[in-house]
Amino acid sequence: MTEKPPPPKRTAAQKTDFKRELTEVVPHLRAFARGLCGRPDMADDLVQETMLKAWAAQDRFEPGTSMRAWTFVILRNAYLTDMRRNRFRGEYDEGVAERILTAPAGQEEPIHLSDMHRALLTLPPERREALLLVGAGGFSYEEAADICGCAVGTIKSRVGRARATLNAMLAEGNIPQRSVEDAAAHRAILQELDDVAAGKGIAAAKP
Amino acid sequence: MTSRDKSWASDGGESAAKGNAKSGAGKDGPAWADGLKQLYDDVVDEPLPDAFKDLLAQLDETDDGDPAATRGGAGS
């Protein structure tokens, strides 16, 4: 691998652009963080941490590329680091409204948003993350793979498994009361963190 | 990789409505798929708490004093 020269210092105009784009993605960062860690207060802390890190690292952002994808990588890494410190345990936020989702045609039992949220938080972290990126965030499998620093096939597999689990839980009303910690999944995601730390994340993946 | 994973959001689009899942309980996929999107979108649509606006406002000040960028550098 060739060493990349240090990125050029940003001009004032570029900084303005960066800040505008960063501002625009903050609501998405909050949504992603909320989905990842469940607790709104922790999620918002995570987003603030992400914003500061993104700002500090702005010279490394390539103008014209996706600010949302770039900041999601930062948020994800911050989340994983915090998970390592056992700050998050996929805690379910009891404050989520017991709101009924619009029941689609043909669906007898309405799904409560709180059920959805709880089911999501019972997924192993790396599947939850894949599902959030693709199913909620609208990223393509390729983009999600870039963000997670893993192969496209891995993302597809994770989304497929997450999907099957949610199908089972939500369609059959078989939702665990409390989230569970999946030690194996936890290890898997930490392995990814190591990969990212080793430079196999999105920043390095870009040509 | 198996073909079962392809039934949903094959390229990031939201064509989940078709939900012609080949995997297990796939026919109910769209129900929660909408819910998942809604969970996310609900947060996106929330008004931004002041803490974030404050933080965004502070970012400029954390900058290392590019003369062209400074506006209200009146502080200490």
pLDDT, tens digit, for every residue of A28-84?
Answer: 999 999 998 888 898 999 999 999 999 999 999 999 999 999 999 999 999 988 877
Domain at A14-205, CATH from 1.10.10.1590, 1.10.10.10, 3.20.20.70, 1.20.140.160: 1.20.140.160
Asked whether A191 and A81 are in contact (CB, 8 A), the reply is no
Q: Which of A54-58, B7-11, B31-35 has the lowest mean pLDDT?
A: B7-11
H-type alpha helices, chain A? 12-37, 40-56, 67-84, 113-122, 125-131, 141-148, 152-166, 183-195, 202-205
How far apart are the CA of B57 and the nearest CA of chain A, in angstroms?
Answer: 10
Record the tokens describing residue B23, joined without a space: 């995997």
A196 — pLDDT class (breaks 50, 70, 90): low
Q: B6 — contact with chain A (CB < 8 Å)? A: yes
Cβ–Cβ below 8 Å for A160 and B23: yes
Give whichever of A115-119, B25-29, B53-57 has the largest mean pLDDT. B53-57
- Per cent of chain A over pLDDT 70 is 66
What pLDDT was estimated at residue A46? 94
Cβ–Cβ below 8 Å for A111 and B35: yes
Task: Please report the ipTM that was assigned to this predicted complex.
Answer: 0.71
- Please state the rounded mean pLDDT for residues A171-197: 56
Cβ–Cβ below 8 Å for B32 and A139: no
Is A149's pLDDT higher than 50?
Answer: yes
- Name the pTM for this structure: 0.68
Q: Indicate which of A46, A113, A167 best probes the interface with B, i.e. most B CBs within 10 Å of its own CB.
A: A167
- Please state the rounded mean pLDDT for residues A163-181: 69
Asked whether B4 and B23 are in contact (CB, 8 A), the reply is yes
**In chain A, domain spans:** 14-205
Residues B18, B22: Cα–Cα separation, whole Å: 12
Residues A2, A4: Cα–Cα separation, whole Å: 6
The better pLDDT of the pair A80, B7 is held by A80
Residue A5 CB neighbours (<10 A): 6
Cβ–Cβ below 8 Å for A117 and B39: yes
Residues B68, A14: Cα–Cα separation, whole Å: 12
Q: B55 — contact with chain A (CB < 8 Å)? A: yes
Asked whether A202 and A149 are in contact (CB, 8 A), the reply is yes
Mean pLDDT computed over every residue of chain A: 79
